[in-house]
A and B are shown apart, each in its own frame.
Chain A
Amino acid sequence: METLFFLIISFVAIISAILVVTCKNPINSALSLIMTFFCLATYYVMLDAPFMAAVQVMVYAGAIMVLMVFTIMLLNIRVDASKKHSHKIVFSSIIGFFTFVNLAYVLFKSRVAVPTGPYSADMIKQVGHTELIGKEMFTNFLLPFEITSILLLVAIVGAVILAKKKI
């Protein structure tokens, strides 16, 4: 049952990812991308990471994609009008394929380490994913976390300045 569900989700995710790449209208691409993000969120739930799933939906599907769709609408971009370069698609596909081959080969050939970490599925269920992530984040990763906030601040300032009419 779970396997079937996984397969269905995988199918949807991959198809919508392909749509992101192939759709001529950017809006369609964006909507397909949102679909992919939802699929990923589902994966996160299946991987016992409900907090990540929630963040995925809120940040990606919610914030980022809304921003993108908004931009597309704002700029009034319609169909990708420029003609396609077929040879480019072929070459790109070959590269993409070999990327995949590389990755897959690594996956199948490499030996995966034995699970060592303290966080088992039961423990997560018992304590709660959000709490565990929170503890981790505010203890071991406090400095990076704070730096992230500065990064965001810089990004906000940068975005404001860049988007002004006159630079």
Chain B
Amino acid sequence: MFDNVWLIPLFPLIGFLINGLFGKKIKNEAIIGGIGTLMIFLSFLVSCGILMQMIGLPPEQRVFEKVVFPWIHSGHFKADMAFLVDPLSVVMIMVVTGVGSLIHLYSIGYMHGEEGFYRFFAYLNLFCMSMLLLVLGSNMLVMFIGWEGVGLCSYLLIGYYFHKKSAGDAAKKAFVMNRIGDFGFLIGLFTLYWWLGSNHNIWTVNFMEIKAASHLLPYGGVVTVATLCFFLGATGKSAQIPLFTWLPDAMEGPTPVSALIHAATMVTAGVYMIGRMSFVFIKSPDTMMVIAVVGAATALFAATIGTAQNDIKRVLAYSTVSQLGYMFLAMGVGAFSAGIFHLMTHAFFKACLFLGSGSVIHSMHHALHKVHSHDDAQDMRNMGGLRKAMPITFITFLVSTIAISGIPGFSGFFSKDEILWQSFSNPYHGNLNIVLWGFGAAAACLTAFYMFRLVFMTFFGECRINPGAKSYLHESPLVITIPLMVLGTLAAFGGYLGMPKLMGLLPNYFEHWLDPVFELSTEYGSTYAQHGDHLSHGLEWGLMGLSVLIAIIGIGIAFTMYVQNTKLPGKFVATFPALHRAVYNKWYVDELYDYLFVNPCKAFGQFLWKGFDVLIVDGVVNGVANTVMGFSGIFRYLQSGYIYNYAFSMALGVVVMLGYFIFK
């Protein structure tokens, strides 16, 4: 089965080619959507096969590399089109193909009747292929194909409604921000490659070879530089501070895209990359600290913005940024498997949330369309009380919200709590730990608050929709609700795979599964870890209880403000107008970037063109030409154009020269 790993990205590629090249001719939505979904589902089956085979193997044999064909070989440099199968990549392909299949299925219903239906499925398949390349790549370069490929698909899918200017802008912004990250990725790659090559004559970009040579890497120094560069790449892809502003804008894309790309898979690529190269990252304590701080800060920062948004998808987008912050926090505190675990659970509940919001928007849009209302179908202020009209959507949505809020028993609780605990107890960051934990806990509170605010505003209370449209609201078709139900189930129970040891009910399957991948990293980490006092189980229980309490407080506030006393939010806004404006406008980060980078760049370009190119360079060139013309303007009087003048000078010349030679 391992040998057939190349089939996994191949199926979506076939789907992409069929839909991309012939989709326009096929026209039949069932066939197009069927092909797209089938292809990714086939990949899912192959992935399951690989998972089964791997479970059967002893942990130390769970690494397999498959070279498909040689790619770039030049000088020392060697990169093959090769795939790496190990526990980490298997987790990822399971998530990508599994969630991917569900979202494909969902899209058949959601995108029904859209112009460019085939285009959507082609892009979606292309995305899956890129994402699978990213997670399966056995060297940094194949990963980079996927890395940029998902960026490309994200560009294409955000810009799916290309006639909207905002969509085009958002698409470009996403790609460029990703490119800034790619810049970091490339520099990191170069640094690592060059250092290992020139100092130890190991010229490689292959993960396994780097892992084998990782004991040669120093702690800090060049590794810090390289890993910080890689981390820049990760911030671009995973929307962390400072490159997070593209993700909320990316909500211009269709909702399934937001679910697949901007929640479940692509944005987690940065986390995956750090996990994949954990043995390098852990060698730089400074980088680990930066990652942890950035992660914690993003988690809190994005959560604050999320509290004031009214667009249902934007709330979820900021929530995604915030949750990604958690994952980075986990990575930064050395809790790699916890980070990956949160990645997986987040994929379940966030995909479910997005799809649920899609279902709501779909229904709203439909209803508003019937009465020719131009109200925004995504604005929560126009919703309310939808739970009666859309029970399945409501229940799955609620389950996922509980999961993300960290209520015990649901998947989010296990993963988030593990991260919080690790950030408190990890041996790497000393006194910083308490701050990290504090940020994480505060973000958890805000998360619970804004997620329940979302639920309350959407599904509870009185219906604020255009009265005429109310009767048209109805539950979405099965093709939409089945994925919701599956994901909802996963969101509820997926967490039991990684139950903390503390609870002792189940072994932590997930952590054991990933142990072979992160063993080496833990070993490296232990060389500089500060082992303080052993923290007691009591403390762990206590913190767990505290975080649950915090979440419940958040829910309570949301309940008070949006169900019990709906005038409170208005009062709050009136009391702190500046604060609300700042939060509502995302702390003006976009404007700041425009002011700091975008506009100066444009102005500078304009200056270089008009000022330097035209004025100086061309000025010099034309100036030389004009000088020559000026001189020739003087000399041209010699060229009178009259034959006799020429004859005269010729004769004079002959006479003088002859005379010289004769009389000399």
Contact = CB atoms under 8 A, between A and B. Distances in A.
A92 interface: yes
Contact of B648 (A92, A99, A101): A92
A37 to B, nearest CB: 23
Given A105-B663, A106-B662, A98 B655 contact: yes
Contacts of A106: 662
A139 interface: no
A102 B654 CA distance: 10
A91 interface: yes
A133 interface: no
A102 B655 contact: yes
**A88, A91, A95, most chain B CB atoms within 10 A:** A95
A102 B653 CA distance: 13
Interface string A100-132: 011001100000000000000000000000000
B485 to A, nearest CB: 91
Nearest to B651: A95
B659 A95 contact: no
A102 B662 contact: yes
Contacts of A105: 662-663
A92 B655 CA distance: 11
Nearest to A106: B662
Interface string A68-103: 000000000000000000001001100100110110
Contacts of B648: 88, 91-92, 95
Contacts of A101: 659
A95 B662 contact: no
Nearest to B657: A102
A100 to B, nearest CB: 10
A88 B652 CA distance: 13
B652 to A, nearest CB: 6
Nearest to A91: B648
B658 interface: yes
Contacts of B662: 102, 105-106
Interface in B212-262: none
Interface string B629-664: 000000000000000100010011011001100110
A92 B658 CA distance: 17
A91 to B, nearest CB: 7
A102 B651 CA distance: 13
Give chain B's interface residue range (CB within 8 Å of chain A).
10 to 19
Contacts of A99: 651, 654-655
Nearest to A100: B655
A98 B656 CA distance: 9
Contacts of A95: 648, 651-652, 655
A98 B654 CA distance: 10
A88 B663 CA distance: 26
Nearest to B654: A99
A101 B655 CA distance: 10
A114 B663 CA distance: 25
Interface string A12-33: 0000000000000000000000
A106 B654 CA distance: 15
Nearest to A99: B655
Contacts of A91: 648
Nearest to B655: A98
A88 B640 CA distance: 15
A102 B652 CA distance: 12
Nearest to B661: A102
B392 to A, nearest CB: 92
Contacts of B655: 95, 98-99, 102
A139 B652 CA distance: 40
A6 B307 CA distance: 127
A105 B655 CA distance: 13
B646 to A, nearest CB: 14
Nearest to A92: B648
Interface in B464-487: none
Nearest to A109: B662
A92 B647 CA distance: 10
B656 to A, nearest CB: 8
A102 B657 CA distance: 10
A22 B173 CA distance: 88
A116 B619 CA distance: 70
B532 to A, nearest CB: 104
Contacts of B652: 95
Contacts of B659: 98, 101-102
Nearest to A110: B662
B661 to A, nearest CB: 9
Contacts of B663: 105
A98 B653 CA distance: 12
A4 to B, nearest CB: 32
A101 B659 CA distance: 9
Contacts of A88: 644, 648
A95 B654 CA distance: 10
Nearest to A101: B659
Contacts of B644: 88
Nearest to A103: B658
Nearest to B659: A102
Contacts of B654: 99
A108 to B, nearest CB: 11
B156 to A, nearest CB: 63
A88 B642 CA distance: 13
A80 to B, nearest CB: 13
A3 to B, nearest CB: 29
A120 to B, nearest CB: 32
A123 B662 CA distance: 37
Interface string B277-294: 000000000000000000
Nearest to B663: A105
A102 to B, nearest CB: 5
Contacts of B651: 95, 99
A92 B648 CA distance: 8
Contacts of A98: 655, 659
Nearest to A105: B662
A64 B654 CA distance: 28
B609 to A, nearest CB: 48
Given A98-B655, A101-B659, A102-B655, 17 more contacts: A88-B644, A88-B648, A91-B648, A92-B648, A95-B648, A95-B652, A95-B655, A98-B659, A99-B651, A99-B654, A99-B655, A102-B658, A102-B659, A102-B662, A105-B662, A105-B663, A106-B662
15 contacts: A88-B644, A88-B648, A91-B648, A92-B648, A95-B648, A95-B651, A95-B655, A98-B655, A98-B659, A99-B651, A99-B654, A101-B659, A102-B658, A102-B662, A105-B663
Interface of B: 644, 648, 651-652, 654-655, 658-659, 662-663
Interface of A: 88, 91-92, 95, 98-99, 101-102, 105-106
A-B pairs with lowest CB-CB distance, top 9: A102-B658, A98-B655, A95-B651, A102-B659, A95-B655, A99-B655, A102-B662, A105-B662, A95-B652
